[in-house]
Structure 1
Amino acid sequence: MKCLSSCRLPDRSSYIWYKNGQVIRSQTSSSYSVYLNRADSFSCAVKGHEDFPSLPVYAPKVPSVSLSPSGEIKEGSSVTLTCSSDANPAAKYAWYKRTYQHYEFISEGRQLVFSSIQSSDSGYYYCTAENTLRKTTSESIFIDVTYAPKLPSVSVSPSGEIIEGSSVTLTCSSDANPPAKYTWYKKNVNPDLQPLSKEPQLVFSSIQSSDSGEYYCTAENQLGKRTSEYIFIDVKCE
């Protein structure tokens, strides 16, 4: 660190250095080298002009991260993360995302703005604040993006020919946050009647020829509802 003055000073001027507001009596030169702890601040003054000390310089404090708007974050909404740290000289900020123990640089700047946040943006974020003295890192903040179910997919097990009397399972799956609730229906059967199942799986423990037909499922959470394509079950008699 170097103590500078905009005024013309006499040759061989002496300086006073302060650490956390206390005089460092062993230092009288214009320069001072020291290992800087995160909590330390330093200032200086020209000897004889102690009433006009410099502003203290210090490393960035541990940054805080705020989220706007607070509360539930829905896919497609605008979300802003803000990083704040007290520092002199002023800190420069950078944003990172933590994925599978790796740290991905996202952007520089005090704010990280998602104009239309997506489900893929879910994850842990943190920021760094850095000046000429040190870099400090914030705690991570978790972004949990909620979204309506994607188009459900339907699978049948076992695959291949379905023989009467065998066990057959239809499975409905959809990516959703919060997780979806599932309902099974058979085509051409009044959906207002009791559905076939309200579980992800529709199980036929001993399937019959009368069970032949087209089936579909729905996936629903509080953000929306999607309906799968039909799957055709053709039961063969032995």
Structure 2
Amino acid sequence: MYYFRFITNIDKWIGKPGVNLTVTGDFHEVHLLCIMLNNNLCMTAPVYIMFVLCSDLQVEAPESVTEGQNVSLTCKSSCALTNRATFIWYRNSQPLTERRDRNNQLLLQSVRREDAGRYSCALHGHSYTSPPSAHLSVMYPPKHPFVAVTPCCQLVEGNSVNLSCNSDSYPPALNFSWFKGGTFVGSGRIYSISKISSNHSGEYKCKSITEHGEKYSDAVTLNVMCEYIIQHKMLKNNPALLL
């Protein structure tokens, strides 16, 4: 007949012919020693158990960082973790590829706007229904501004035209400046010209401005045609209109 005994650093349990051990409490990992007795023969075997009980995790991260900077995120816990603890990081609920760190910090070097999102952490071997998370915003200056012209086709003298400045930035740009041939002509995301004339013909470009930087768009050319030229072309192409 075999007799089993569990020995821990606190207490011991024995049972005949066997013993089941259930451990509860706020433990992260426990080392046990199993002793098997058979008449005068004594056999021991170490037992290492990892318990899924540590759920008190918090992610510390700056609310925002500027593109190109380095940023460190920290996974904190009030549990007594050992040096065997391995941390897993997620962005927007997706695990970061092969990102398991022995320490509790995640270092992002030269962050890009694609690095923005909600970050969470977990301990390897533990399960969580809702891992703690923190949102990281990446600020970046205006990129690829461009000018859109409405109406987009023939500009006839006397009509109105709107030029809008569009750009990609975070936070979104709120300040815009307009230039005609290098001369400042207005501000605001939309530059409107009512009763356009031939004097308004030329190259226009906008400048998108944020606290993180500014950038010019490529120039667009406005060609304003007088109504007489438009009518002349229509009659030339359609002689039947003279009848």
Report the TM-score when normalising by structure 1: 0.70
Does the 8 Å contact 2:63/2:137 carry over to 1?
Answer: no
Q: What does the per-residue CA deviation read over 1:178-235, in whole Å, with 9 as the maximum and x for residues that have no partner? A: 222111121153x3xxx42x21111123322221111111111112111112111011
**2:139 partner amino acid:** T
Indicate the SS of the match to 2:168. coil
| Alpha-carbon separation, structure 1, partners of 2:110 and 2:216 | 25
- Once superposed, which parts of structure 1, at least 4 consecutive aligned residues long, lie more than 2 Å away? 11-17, 25-34, 39-46, 54-62, 84-92
In structure 2, the CA distance between the partners of 1:27 and 1:177, relative to structure 1 (3 Å rule), is farther
**Counterpart of 2:214?**
225
**Counterpart of 1:206?**
195
| Alpha-carbon separation, structure 1, partners of 2:59 and 2:226 | 65
Question: Which residue of 153, 157, 181 corresponds with 2:150?
Answer: 157
Does the 8 Å contact 1:93/1:128 carry over to 2?
Answer: yes
Does the 8 Å contact 1:16/1:27 carry over to 2?
Answer: no
**Counterpart of 2:76?**
84
Deviation at 1:156, TM superposition (A): 0.8
In structure 2, the CA distance between the partners of 1:169 and 1:26, relative to structure 1 (3 Å rule), is farther
Structure 1 vs Structure 2 CA RMSD: 3.5
Indicate the SS of the match to 1:61. coil
Q: Does 1:61 align with 2:55?
A: yes
Does the 8 Å contact 1:95/1:127 carry over to 2?
Answer: yes
| Alpha-carbon separation, structure 2, partners of 1:27 and 1:40 | 25
| Alpha-carbon separation, structure 2, partners of 1:95 and 1:166 | 58
**Counterpart of 1:115?**
109
| Alpha-carbon separation, structure 1, partners of 2:152 and 2:112 | 35
Does the 8 Å contact 2:3/2:15 carry over to 1?
Answer: no
- How many residue pairs get matched? 203
**2:166 partner amino acid:** S
Question: Which residue of 108, 113, 120 corresponds with 1:126?
Answer: 120
Deviation at 1:33, TM superposition (A): 5.3
**Counterpart of 2:3?**
12
**1:76 partner amino acid:** G
Q: Which runs of 5+ in 2 are unaligned?
A: 35-46, 228-243
Indicate the SS of the match to 1:91. coil
| Alpha-carbon separation, structure 1, partners of 2:153 and 2:117 | 40
Does the 8 Å contact 2:142/2:209 carry over to 1?
Answer: yes
| Alpha-carbon separation, structure 1, partners of 2:85 and 2:179 | 59
Larger of the two Rg values belongs to structure: 2
| Alpha-carbon separation, structure 2, partners of 1:188 and 1:55 | 74
Indicate the SS of the match to 1:166. coil
The aligned runs of 1:38-57 (5 Å cut-off) are 40-41=26-27
**Counterpart of 1:234?**
223
Question: Which residue of 138, 143, 168 corresponds with 2:161?
Answer: 168
Structure ranking higher in helix proportion: 2
Q: Does 1:94 align with 2:94?
A: no
Indicate the SS of the match to 1:120. helix
Deviation at 1:96, TM superposition (A): 1.3
Does the 8 Å contact 1:125/1:140 carry over to 2?
Answer: yes
Q: What does the per-residue CA deviation read over 1:54-99, in whole Å, with 9 as the maximum and x for residues that have no partner? A: 99964322321122xx46411000112122343667532211111x
Q: Percent identity?
A: 28
Indicate the SS of the match to 2:87. strand
Q: Does 1:75 align with 2:67?
A: yes
**2:201 partner amino acid:** S
